[in-house]
Amino acid sequence: MSIGAAVPMIDARERVTAAIRYVQDLALPGMLHAAVVRSPVAHARVVSVDAGAAREVPGVVAVVAGDDLRAHPDLAPAPTYGPQIKDQPVVALDRVRYVGDIVALVAAETPRAAEEAAALVDVIYDELPAVFDPLSALAPGAPPIHDLRPEEEQDREGTALYFDIRPQFGTNCCNLFRLRHGDVPQRLTQADVVVEETFRTPAIQHVPMEPHVALAAWEGDRLTVHTGTQTPFNVRDMLAALFGLPPEGVRILTHTLGGSYGAKVFPRIEPQAALLARVTGRPVRLALRRDEVFLTLTRHATVITIKLGLKRDGRIVAKEVHASWDTGAYADCGPNVAQKGGFGVVGPYNIPSVAVDSACVYTNLPPAGAFRGYAVTQAAWASESMMDIAADRLGIDPLEFRRRNLLREGDTFATGETLHDVRFESCLDHAAAAIDWDGGAARDFGDGRVRAKGLALVMKGMTSPSRSEARVGVGRDGRVVLASSTVEMGQGARTVLAQLAAQELDVAYDDIRIVDPDTARTPFDNRTTSSRSTFMMGNAVTRAAVGLRQQLIALAAERLEAAPADLEVIGGAVRVAGVPESAVSFGELVRGAHRQEMTETAEFRNEGGLDPDTGQGIASSHWHQGAGAVEVEVDTFTGKVTVLHAHGAVNAGKVVNRHTAALQNVGNLVFGLGSALFEEIVYDGGQATNANLSDYLIPSFMDLPAALTHDLLEKPGADMHGVGEIALPPIPAAIGNAVARAIGTRVRELPLTPERVLRAMATTTRGGNGPGEDDG
């Protein structure tokens, strides 16, 4: 069978012939096209919106602004939404909070008419003070961006919320996650060496090749939305709340996504498309331009300060962390990002005392949310840089320093949970071996070029608790049908899930028909995030397929007058073991039972949850584990960093499809290179100045290292492990560690641009090897 093999994606043919359908390719009969009027100012009261001229444009059907929602509350009875805090209005009600915030919506017969009209909407703003970085936003006297009040602090509806959040009322902190383990002050007094450093990362963008698109249509009080989303059920529930409908009143359908990487998690443009469709009574298509994609969601910019208490023998005895996550103008899932980063920043080490304060902070920038690596890339940039700094202070090889502090099988993590299936050491050793780790010595060629190597190691949780359901069936034609709400987005989910069903039913995986996510027809799944689908949905599919096999065997047992234990399932048929002529095909069994189809639905759950004030509990039922190792060359004349070799070593447990698993690792390494070396949204007064693919670079063929290698670490009998994200987070930190060894000083802020590298070197030349300045 195909499990563990390198087999092509089930839809490979459709992908190379372009027969495959993305939401971008859909049209609904009679549909209108939408355009968005966006705020040019970072923070303001909306004084007035004059749509008179816009409505005169031929083809314009409707212009909707906050006044319309106030005048007709039935349009959207609860006009704000958000997965953890309902703070984002479907269209600005009285304030705009970032450059790009939605102040009005236009629907017209053509995209051109909609765009033309949007440009004619005349908005008068009364500007308010604005703030663009999380530390300023937390300072006393900072302009309040939302006025969160205790009575609205928690939203217990829907499935997104599984942990309590702690807004700091009267400040811009929308969640303060605390983790407390052991006695940090006491341990610090016992430390031989204490080191403290601050690290920064910028906002970056996912840049899915397919921009966001949604098509919404109403039939009476029922809403249907076709949208490119990783989260069909979350979008369903949040739209239902927004429009005052029961969850079943909203139907969300999706197809394969042209990339997402977190960009299409939770409602992005679906509320706006649905509102316009409700106002106009016609289907509406809303498709974003590339510049608008940059304004729709980013990865959290961060400032993270870490203090480590060390013993001379190389043991870490205390870790104290203050982290700020810039969630922009709306919280989105930022509160959860601060939590995940709050324990992720501890790292895969056994540390007797840990104290983390992890704050999710509003600023007047575009909202930040889910992004491949989900908080761990930023956390690892700080914590894995700090591991090298600490090793150097103690004069210990950074590989050996990590080994002395590693979490091992059965150890207790800072959250109080006991870890199993622990493979950090194996990941680290494979990564180090792949680059011929040499202790981290710099090699100076004497012509301006210096080479050095670097390592990093990370742990990442998987959404806990969560639930996945799958339905596997067989019809009268004998063909196996697999229905789940796992979203295909290029990761190969359709293929891997089909392989798992095929394994139990002994059919060819590429003969299985896949039903795309449709909240009215496919069973429930939390969402396609957190590298959870292969493990969670995979197990649900396996259970459903096993159940279906048992049903088929039971039917065949009657028909063949044989004991079920004597039957076997081979090649889409059931037969008496070893007797080919007794075979009854699946189709014959279904037809013989006078059924249209036989189906089996099964679910798989995991459990967990953390106390928001102590961080104690179960952070994750299943840990993603991975290491990165690189060799870099720095041109000390220009500051340019060239990565010569990048390697990712991840725990894969049991690989289902060697092609798609390898593509995940390689893709993560390439993503990591961009994040490390050049990706950054540059804001000026809150305005994104490089919101296009000419000024915002993503890795191309020309940016690849000469060697790009990886390990998928397996173990007999191990569980399947998702590998969708885990090779990414160690890469920027590993590159940063290698660059620090090459130039003898450290850049503490991503990305590692030539300017930053040169400035760090100049600082060293002037001031010796002291604490480097954070550069800007």
Distance of CA 324 to the CA centre of its chain: 18
36 binds other proteins (CB under 8 A): no
Q: Which is nearer to other proteins, 498 or 742 (CB)?
A: 498
Helix (H, G, I), strand (E, B) or coil at 746: coil
17 binds other proteins (CB under 8 A): yes
Q: Which is nearer to other proteins, 262 or 342 (CB)?
A: 262
12 binds other proteins (CB under 8 A): yes
671 binds other proteins (CB under 8 A): yes
25 binds other proteins (CB under 8 A): yes
Instruction: Choose the binding region for other proteins from 21-29, 136-144, 302-310, 535-543 (rule: CB under 8 A).
Output: 21-29
689 binds other proteins (CB under 8 A): no
Residue count at the site for other proteins (CB under 8 A)?
51
Tokens linked to 178: 């605390």
Burial 13-46 (b: 16+ CB within 10 A, else e): eeeeeeebebbbebebeebbbbbbbbbebbbbeb
Instruction: Choose the binding region for other proteins from 127-135, 154-162, 395-403, 687-695 (rule: CB under 8 A).
Output: 687-695
9 binds other proteins (CB under 8 A): yes
Tokens linked to 745: 């000083």
Q: Which is nearer to other proteins, 31 or 165 (CB)?
A: 31
Q: Which is nearer to other proteins, 1 or 662 (CB)?
A: 662
Q: Which residues contact 720 (CB under 8 A, 6 or more apart)?
A: 534, 535, 538, 539, 652, 653, 654, 655, 656
Instruction: Choose the binding region for other proteins from 2-10, 167-175, 516-524, 761-769 (rule: CB under 8 A).
Output: 2-10
Which residue from 194, 184, 185, 193 is spatially nearest to 312, judged by alpha carbons? 193
Tokens linked to 387: 């591991």
Peptide bond into 366 cis (omega under 30): no
Which residue from 608, 538, 139 is spatially nearest to 343, judged by alpha carbons? 608
Which residue from 224, 381, 562 is spatially nearest to 389, judged by alpha carbons? 381
15 binds other proteins (CB under 8 A): yes
What sign does the dihedral 557-558-559-562 (CA atoms) show?
positive
Q: Which is nearer to other proteins, 61 or 731 (CB)?
A: 731
18 binds other proteins (CB under 8 A): yes
Query: What kind and span of H or E run contains 459?
Result: strand 449-460
Instruction: Choose the binding region for other proteins from 190-198, 606-614, 656-664, 738-746 (rule: CB under 8 A).
Output: 656-664
Place of tokens 């053509």: 110
Q: Which residues contact 527 (CB under 8 A, 6 or more apart)?
A: 230, 231, 232, 233, 234, 265, 463
669 binds other proteins (CB under 8 A): yes
Min dist. Cβ of residue 286 to other proteins (A): 15
Residue 58, φ and ψ in degrees, nearest 5: -55, 135
Instruction: Choose the binding region for other proteins from 7-15, 350-358, 404-412, 529-537 (rule: CB under 8 A).
Output: 7-15
Q: Which of 147, 313, 395, 700 binds other proteins (CB under 8 A)?
A: 700
Q: Which positions from 569 through 588 interact with other proteins, judged by CB under 8 A?
A: none
Q: Which of 108, 165, 257, 548 binds other proteins (CB under 8 A)?
A: 257
Q: Which of 1, 28, 693, 718 binds other proteins (CB under 8 A)?
A: 693
Place of tokens 């992720």: 344
490 binds other proteins (CB under 8 A): yes
Q: In this structure, which amino acid lies at residue 331?
A: A
Q: Which is nearer to other proteins, 731 or 758 (CB)?
A: 731
Count the Cβ atoms, other than its own, within 10 Å of residue 422.
Answer: 20
Q: Which positions from 282 through 311 interact with other proteins, judged by CB under 8 A?
A: 289-290
> In whole angstroms, what is the distance from residue 580 CA to residue 586 CA?
14
Q: Which of 694, 716, 766, 776 binds other proteins (CB under 8 A)?
A: 694
Q: Which positions from 600 through 629 interact with other proteins, judged by CB under 8 A?
A: none
Q: Which positions from 470 through 489 interact with other proteins, judged by CB under 8 A?
A: 489
Q: Which is nearer to other proteins, 207 or 455 (CB)?
A: 207
Residue 166, φ and ψ in degrees, nearest 5: -125, 80
Burial 162-187 (b: 16+ CB within 10 A, else e): ebbbbbeeebbbbbbbbbbbeebeeb
Q: How many CA atoms are closer than 13 Å to the CA of 641, on its beta-carbon side?
A: 35
> In whole angstroms, what is the distance from residue 128 CA to residue 96 CA?
10
Min dist. Cβ of residue 8 to other proteins (A): 5
Min dist. Cβ of residue 733 to other proteins (A): 18
511 binds other proteins (CB under 8 A): no
Q: Which of 175, 256, 651, 753 binds other proteins (CB under 8 A)?
A: 256
702 binds other proteins (CB under 8 A): yes
Count the Cβ atoms, other than its own, within 10 Å of residue 222.
Answer: 13
> In whole angstroms, what is the distance from residue 320 CA to residue 318 CA?
7
Burial 304-324 (b: 16+ CB within 10 A, else e): bbbbbbbeeebbbbbbbbbbb
698 binds other proteins (CB under 8 A): yes
Q: Which of 5, 21, 281, 521 binds other proteins (CB under 8 A)?
A: 21
Min dist. Cβ of residue 265 to other proteins (A): 15
Q: Which of 247, 699, 744, 771 binds other proteins (CB under 8 A)?
A: 699
Q: Which of 404, 479, 640, 659 binds other proteins (CB under 8 A)?
A: 659
Min dist. Cβ of residue 664 to other proteins (A): 8
Instruction: Choose the binding region for other proteins from 560-568, 613-621, 686-694, 750-758 (rule: CB under 8 A).
Output: 686-694
Q: Residues 187-226 vs other proteins: string with x where CB under 8 A?
A: -------------------xxxxxx---------------
Q: Which is nearer to other proteins, 283 or 473 (CB)?
A: 283
> In whole angstroms, what is the distance from residue 347 CA to residue 758 CA?
30
Is 33:214 a contact under the CB 8 Å cutoff? no
Is 15:488 a contact under the CB 8 Å cutoff? no
Place of tokens 């994609």: 293
Min dist. Cβ of residue 304 to other proteins (A): 26
Q: Which is nearer to other proteins, 290 or 559 (CB)?
A: 290
8 binds other proteins (CB under 8 A): yes
Q: In this structure, which amino acid lies at residue 201?
A: T
What are the E-state strand segments in 589-728?
597-606, 609-610, 617-618, 624-635, 641-653, 683-684, 687-688, 707-714
Count the Cβ atoms, other than its own, within 10 Å of residue 640.
Answer: 15
Q: Which is nearer to other proteins, 171 or 660 (CB)?
A: 660
> In whole angstroms, what is the distance from residue 410 CA to residue 461 CA?
17
Q: Which of 234, 378, 651, 668 binds other proteins (CB under 8 A)?
A: 668
> In whole angstroms, what is the distance from residue 42 CA to residue 548 CA?
56
> In whole angstroms, what is the distance from residue 272 CA to residue 517 CA?
21
Using CB under 8 A as the criterion, which residues of the chain lie in contact with other proteins when the complex forms? 6, 8-9, 12-13, 15-18, 20-22, 24-25, 206-211, 256-259, 261, 289-290, 489-492, 659-660, 662-663, 666-671, 692-694, 698-702, 704, 708
